[in-house]
Each structure stands twice: as structure tokens, then as C-alpha cells.
Amino acid sequence: MVLRSCCKFGPVLVWFRLGYVVLLWLCVTHLRCARAETKTVVQKDAEFDVTYNDTVTSDNQIIYAFNHTVSRNKTEGVRVTVDVLSEGAESSPILFVVRQKQAVLSFQVPLILRGLYQRKYPYAHVGRTLCQPPTRSLTETQYFFVDVSTLSSLGTHYQLRISRVDSFTLHTDKKFSFTASPSQPQYFKYVFPDGVDTVIVKVNSEMTFPCSVMSIQDIQCPVYDLDNNVAFIGMYQTMTKTAAITVQRKDFPSNSFYVVVVVKTEDEACGGPLRFYPLRPDELIDAGNRSKTLDVVVSPAISSDVYVMGMLFCLGIFLSFYLLTFLVACVENKRMHRRREGLLNPADMSPAETASLLGKPGVTPVSPYEYGSFVDNASTLSSEAITDSIASDANYGYMERSLESVAGRSRQESLSSIEEDDYDTLADIDSDKNIVRTKKYLCVSDLARKDKRVLSKKYQIYFWNIATIGVFYALPVIQLVITYQTVVNVTGNQDICYYNFLCAHPLGNLSAFNNILSNLGYVMLGLLFLLIVLQRDVIHSRALDRNDLNALECGIPKHFGLFYAMGTALMMEGLLSACYHVCPNYTNFQFDTSFMYMIAGLCVLKLYQKRHPDINASAYTAYACLAAVIFFSVLGVVFGKGNMVFWIVFSVLHILATMLLSTQLYYMGRWRLDSGILRRIVYVIYTDCIRQCSGPMYIDRMVLLVMGNIVNWSLAAYGLLKTPNDFASYLLAIAICNLLLYFAFYIIMKLRSGERIQCMAMVCILFTAVVWGFALFFFFQGLSTWQKTPAESREHNRDCIVLSFFDDHDIWHFLSSIAMFGSFLVLLTMDDDLDNVQRDKIFVF
């Protein structure tokens, strides 16, 4: 019975419990609504330039209502300034919401801004400028409301002030000063005047720190003016003392833009020190006083006429060298024509003129290693000019061998194999090498025994290899720098590229067209040098076809392959330097230096080849060594900064390479690097230093190599002790120092041997030295440096100095291309005085 009663009343109990739950829910809801109704909302009609002192709690909300008249022809800024006067407000900050017609701005006070490693900096004083919605009517009254609320039950006291910014619009060429801080950013409006399509915005400060950011943003709401969001849109730069951004009208459809200046919470981005780590993750750090006074000025950039003048100026400079070369060629051709007529009619010439053409008789050459030695200077006339202008039957009196014997020998050579290996692998020839190349006094004839056609093919490989290298190197470089420029244009981050922003003139998508244009000289002068070499090559080939005695038996053996490679390298240097200046920075600096290593190496090889044609390095060996240099350059850029292990390894390899190269040069390649090398070194030391004290057999060679070792060991020690950040430039300095040392040795030994430098070569030397001096002056001006942060680099920026278009670095491009061209001409013409001297009377050094 009891069980049945329970089953009977079971459903009633369930419904009773359900009703109880619903009733309880209704009661709780009613209590919540009653509590919500107790929170009061106070709305006040407020006025501009009045300070409101109020207290807000979790039980009340205050709304300030403002209205102001806006005009389509005049823009006034509105600024909100808030101070929290209560202590301990960080736990329950006040929320301010500014509601406008087309925008909403909200922020909390104290404002918490984050730095690196989640550092938190509170700011109790906050100032923000309201974004101004556009108006289509001539005048319009706009309303906006400031809502103030908090979750603090104790109440927080604050001050609120709304004021007008009278200098909100910037004017052209008028400087405006203002103060900003991390919690009080500033921004101003600029409208393009009629007839101005490009302007440059400059922001300057006397204070290096605190670090700040200058941004250019379109006229739209919201404006990103805090440290944590200023990089969201537009173009921006970090700055210490100066920043400059070139702005084009085409990028802003409204023909106006905002200039936003934000002070960062930390200085690490500008190269400043980092603050200490907080002891607790959520600990707030007092940022101290980070206010900064700045000046802003907007100036018109250059017009299209200046672009045209700059391009014409650049073309005019380098086309003048083509004109000058043409005039010199015409004068030389006329002079050769007169001399040819004089040779055909010697009776019409004076004895002095005849002597100048046929050489100076009676001078007997002796060893260059004795003081007062002289070489028979046969003529000042180059072999190319003589072979092109004199009939093939004109013979010189001091030559003993007849044309028939030389022609017969040439015909025999044409029947033999012209492969270099066939000549070198013969046992008797190899034995002859050891005898000839180890003589105490060598002549060029001793090192010019190989078939000239073999060597010509050997040295032509230099040209074809560097042309191939250039194509495969340049194509990915061009692709990469285009990507760099695209990233800069899309992200607006102008800290990626290290321009001289005070003289960076954009053209299309290129940010610094002037720095690219100024590299045109390398390309044009490299092409001109190739044309000059081609002319000499053609004249020399014609002389060989005629079996001319001068071309076959006299002067420095002429192989033009290295000259072609040098001209090509100069053109590639211009192309890759232009690619580097599309977006110059730390990671792509090797684009600007790779072919500088090539040029330095090729110049050294050409100097050595002049008097060592048979034993000069092959193209494959030379380019393999240069590839190793570039490989170490990349390693140095990536791993060398502050890495002592890398510098130790590099210095050891540098010294070992110097010693091996010194041995190769001293013994003319007649030594072997094998397991018995140590035994032979000990034997030489014992016989030459211990058993009997004897001096070196090749004194001049030893002097050069000792000086070279001193220079290279010193450079290695400098790198090991100083560990310079710019490893690529350090490596380039090593190459240039060795080139200059060898060139100076060559000139000194040439003069010491009684040879002389002709007028044209002397003019080239003096002209090149002067131009190099001016070029280095402009190079060391240092308009930017990627060894520092982008903000610190901009401290070195300077205005344009030529035509308001080119800066100091552009002048360096102009002068260095001319100086390199002059240096190549020196190498091409410095031994023209030997063109009529027999090779067995030209000494090797």
C-alpha cells in the first residue's frame, strides 16, 4: 500500500520541484535587475577647454556631450586629455569611450603599454587626438560623447579636458614644434597644394632618446597612433634625431595624409639600452619621463624637370669619355699616318725623328739588379699602331732574325697541336722548365715559350667564364631586390632599406632612383673599355696575320682575355651595385662587393701575366679561388659579427694562404706540396741558414713577398683583435691592399730596370690617382650605415649636393667608375714603351 501511494504522488513531486526552480530563477533575475537599476548614468553638456574633475565608480557612469562646428575648408583637431588622480588605479582602470559620427575611440587610464619580453609600463596621463570624419557640406555641427566608466567600487578620481588643436593642419615649408610621449602621441594633417605632386616630410629633434616613430597614414579612422599599432598601416620609420619620408600624391586619393609621431616605450629599436628584467611577470615598471620635443616640416620635393636634368647630366658625363676616346683615336691615327709617310720617305725626316722611330742605338741593356741599369728603349710607338700603318716589309735594324725565319717557324707551329697540355707534359720540356724558371735573372722570353694560340685560348676562358658567372649571379639578385622593394612598398616598413632619406628620389616603384642611376657609369665605361681592348686586339691580330716582327718577337706578349674579363666585371659591378641600391641593407651588401673582389683579383692576375704569361693561373683556378673568397664573405656577414671562433679560423686560413701563395710566386711554380714538404723545408733551413748563411737567390721577389706577408699578417692581426662588423669591406680592403702593393712594386721595378713610362700611360696614372683621391673623400662621408640601427643610420643622412638630385654617394659612384676605368687604362698602356724591345731584353720581376 505504501509503495502504491508513493507511485501515485511521484509526478506531483516532480512538478513541484520544477516549479520551485523556476521561482528561484525569477527571484535571482529580479534581484539583478533591481541592482542594475541602481547604477546611475549621468550625462553632462560639456564645453571645450574646460577641465572636469569627477569621480567614477562601478555604480555610476558619466557621459560628456560635446558639439562643435566643422567646415569643409578648414580642419581643426580635437584633443582629449585625461589624468587619473587616485592611486592604485592599475587594478581597476577607467575606461574612456569617445563616440563620434563615424568613429569610436576607446582607451583605458592608466594606459598599459607593453615592451619587449612582456614588460609593462603604466601611464596615468593620456592624451589622444580624435579622428576627424570628413564632411561634404560647407559647415556642419557634429556631436560626440565621452563615456567614462570603471569596475572599481571604491571610486576613482580623474580630470578630463577637451581642447581644440589650432595647428592641426601643416603648411608647406613651415616648421611646427610639438611634444610627444608614449601615452600622448601626436598627429597632424597635410593637404597637397595645387601643382605639388611629391613632398618630403622631415621630423627632427635635438634629443637622441627616447626612440620614436614617424608614420604617414591615409585620412581614415581610426588613426593608429600607439606604439603597439603604429606599424599596422601606412609608411613608418623609427628615429632618434631625424626622419624623412618622401610622399607622393598618387598614393593618397584624398590628396591629403596624416603625419603621426609616436614615442616608443623602449629604446632598443633605436640602438638604446634595454631596461632590467622584471622580477615578476606581471610587475609594472615605471617608464620615467619619456617626453620628446620634435619639429616637423613638409617641403616640396623635386619636379620632373630635375629628374630629366639628372639623367642628362649622368649621360653627358660618361658620353664625354666616348667623345674624348674618339678624338684621341683620331689624333693618334693622324700621327701614325705622318710617321708611316716618314718611314716610307726617310730622307724627308730629321735625324732626331728617325732616331725616335727606330730606337736609341748604342744603349746596351744590363742586368736590372745592378744600379744604373738600362733597357734598350726601342721606340715610343706602340706595336699596334706600327703594325697597322707600316708595310709588312719594313724591318728594324736592331733585329737579327729575318722575317722568313719567323714566318717559317709560324708555319711549323700551325701544323702542331695547340693544346697546352701537349706542350707541358713532354719530359724534356718539363726538365727545361726547371732549368729556365730557376735562373737568377729571367727575361720575358724565358716565360713566353708556349704557343701563343694556346695561351690566347686559355685567357679567353676568363672572359667567357665571367660572362657566364655574371648571368647566373645577376638573375636571382634582380629577382630578390624586386621582392625587397615590393615588401617595402606593401608593408610600408622603411626600416628595411638603408637609404639616404634626405636625398632619395622615387621613380615608379623604386624608392631611390638617383642611387641606381649613378651606377650607369660602371656599365658605360666598362663597355668603352671593351671597345678599346677590341680595337687593340684587332690591330694585333692583323699584325700576326702579316707575320710582323714586332708583334711576333717584341714587347710584352699580348693576351687580351683578361682585359675582356675586366671590362665585363666592371659592367657587372655597375649592374649589381644598382641592384644593391634598390634596397641597401646588411643582408644584400655582398651584391655590391662580389664583383669588386673579382676586379681586384683580375687586376692582380693581369699584372702578373704581363711578364709571366706561361705560368699564370688558369681561369678555372682563379675563379675557384675568387669563389672561395665570396664564400668566406657570406660566412663573415652571417656568422662573423662578434664570433671569435670564426675570426680565429679565418685569420689562420688567411695566413696559410699568404704563405702558400708566397712560395708559389718565389719558386715560379717549381715546387710540390706533398708529404715531403716538411723535410725539404728543414733541409733548406739547414743548408741556407745554419750550415752557411746565404741570402735569397731572388732578392727582388723576396722583397715583394716579405712586404706582402707583413701587410697580410698585419691585416689578419687587425681582424682578430678588432673583429670589425663590416666583414665584406674588411675582405675588400685585403684585396685592394695587395693589389696596390703589387702595382707599386711593378712600377718601381719597371723604372729600376731602365724602362720608362710613356706620356699616355703617365697621364692615365696621374689622372686616376687624383680621381681616386676625390672618390675616396666622398666614399668616407658615410651617408648611411647598416652597421647601426636604421634610426641611428638616419642621423648620417644629408641633403643632395648636385642638381638637388645626387648626394655624396652618387658622386662616389661617378668618380669611382671613372677611376676604375682609368686604372684599367693604366694596365693596358703602361708597357707600351716595350713594344719595339726584344723579349730576351725585357726582364721579369
pLDDT of 843 reads: 84
Split at pLDDT 50, 70, 90, the class of 221 is confident
Split at pLDDT 50, 70, 90, the class of 411 is very low
* Spatial CB neighbours of 293, under 8 Å, sequence gap ≥ 6: 177, 178, 179, 205, 206, 207
pLDDT of 36 over the 80 cut: no
Question: 10 Å Cβ neighbour count for 14?
Answer: 10
Element (H, E) at 568: helix 561-580
pLDDT of 9 over the 80 cut: no
Average pLDDT over residues 774-779: 93
pLDDT of 278 reads: 60
Cα separation, 550 vs 556, in Å, equals: 10
384-393, 514-523, 529-538: which range is least confident on average?
Answer: 384-393
pLDDT of 429 reads: 47
Cα separation, 804 vs 503, in Å, equals: 8
pLDDT of 382 reads: 37
pLDDT of 211 reads: 93
Cα separation, 779 vs 799, in Å, equals: 15
Split at pLDDT 50, 70, 90, the class of 319 is very high
Question: 10 Å Cβ neighbour count for 800?
Answer: 20
**CA torsion through residues 602, 819, 770, 764, sign:** positive
Residue type, 490: V
The three-state secondary structure class of 734 is helix
More confident residue, 579 or 451: 579
52-56, 167-171, 337-341: which range is least confident on average?
Answer: 337-341
Summarised one tens digit per residue, pLDDT across range 636-646 is 888 877 788 88
pLDDT of 527 over the 90 cut: yes
Residues 669 and 727: beta-carbon distance below 8 Å: no
Site of grid cell 595647428: 167
pLDDT of 4 over the 70 cut: no
pLDDT of 38 reads: 60
Angle between helices 590-611 and 619-639 in degrees, nearest 10: 150
pLDDT of 77 over the 80 cut: yes
**CA 225, 229, 235, 238: dihedral to nearest 10 degrees?**
80
**CA 798, 802, 803, 805: dihedral to nearest 10 degrees?**
-50
Split at pLDDT 50, 70, 90, the class of 366 is very low
pLDDT of 357 reads: 45
The three-state secondary structure class of 593 is helix
Split at pLDDT 50, 70, 90, the class of 64 is very high
Average pLDDT over residues 787-809: 92
Q: What are phi and psi of 265, to 5 degrees?
A: -75, -25
pLDDT of 801 reads: 93
Average pLDDT over residues 144-152: 90
Split at pLDDT 50, 70, 90, the class of 243 is very high
Q: What are the beta bridge partners of residue 108?
A: 95
Split at pLDDT 50, 70, 90, the class of 538 is very high
Residues 358 and 395: beta-carbon distance below 8 Å: no
pLDDT of 1 over the 50 cut: no
Average pLDDT over residues 453-479: 90
Q: End-to-end CA distance of the chain: give it in Å, rounded.
A: 133
Please give the order of strands across the beta sheet that includes 40-45.
Answer: 40-45, 60-71, 139-150, 94-99, 104-109
Q: What are phi and psi of 160, to 5 degrees?
A: -130, 135
* Spatial CB neighbours of 366, under 8 Å, sequence gap ≥ 6: 373, 374
pLDDT of 401 reads: 38
Count Cα neighbours of 8 within 13 Å in the Cβ-side half-sphere.
Answer: 5
Cα separation, 660 vs 334, in Å, equals: 50
pLDDT of 700 reads: 76
More confident residue, 527 or 433: 527
Cα separation, 788 vs 110, in Å, equals: 34
pLDDT of 814 over the 90 cut: yes
b/e sequence 679-695, b meaning 16+ C-beta within 10 Å: eeeeeeeeeeeeeeeee
Instruction: Report residue 456 as a C-alpha cell.
Output: 690566347
pLDDT of 295 over the 90 cut: yes
pLDDT of 386 reads: 34
Q: Give me the percent of the chain exceeding a pLDDT of 70.
A: 80
Contacts 24+ apart (CB under 8 A), 218-221: 218/252, 218/254, 218/257, 218/258, 219/134, 219/189, 219/252, 219/254, 219/256, 219/257, 219/258, 220/131, 221/100, 221/102, 221/103, 221/131, 221/133
Q: What are the beta bridge partners of residue 260?
A: 187, 215
pLDDT of 23 reads: 64
More confident residue, 674 or 361: 674
Average pLDDT over residues 769-780: 93
pLDDT of 137 over the 80 cut: no
Contacts 24+ apart (CB under 8 A), 35-42: none
Task: Look at phi and psi of residue 386 and say left if phi exceeds 0, alpha if psi is from -120 to 50, else beta.
Answer: alpha
pLDDT of 317 reads: 94
Q: Which of 306, 113, 284, 122 is nearest to 197 (CA)?
A: 306
Residues 816 and 774: beta-carbon distance below 8 Å: no
pLDDT of 342 reads: 67
pLDDT of 660 reads: 85
Average pLDDT over residues 591-620: 89
More confident residue, 173 or 286: 173
Average pLDDT over residues 504-531: 93
Summarised one tens digit per residue, pLDDT across range 690-702 is 667 666 666 777 8
- What is the total residue count of the chain? 845
Average pLDDT over residues 571-589: 91
Average pLDDT over residues 227-235: 90
pLDDT of 691 reads: 67
The three-state secondary structure class of 263 is strand
Cα separation, 543 vs 452, in Å, equals: 14
pLDDT of 475 reads: 92
Q: Average pLDDT over the chain, rounded to whole? A: 81
Give the Å distances, CA to CA, from 787 to 107, 365, 473, 498, 630.
Answer: 38, 55, 25, 10, 20
Split at pLDDT 50, 70, 90, the class of 371 is very low
Residue type, 487: V
pLDDT of 407 reads: 41
pLDDT of 420 reads: 47
**Strands 40-45 and 60-71, sheet pairing:** parallel
Average pLDDT over residues 528-556: 89
pLDDT of 390 over the 80 cut: no
**CA torsion through residues 322, 308, 172, 293, sign:** negative
Residues 597 and 735: beta-carbon distance below 8 Å: yes
Cα separation, 229 vs 211, in Å, equals: 16
pLDDT of 404 over the 50 cut: no
pTM beyond 0.75: the answer is yes
More confident residue, 283 or 527: 527
Average pLDDT over residues 50-54: 91
Distance between alpha carbon 181 and the CA centroid of its chain, in Å?
34
Q: Which of 409, 313, 359 is nearest to 835 (CA)?
A: 359
Split at pLDDT 50, 70, 90, the class of 688 is low
Average pLDDT over residues 403-422: 41
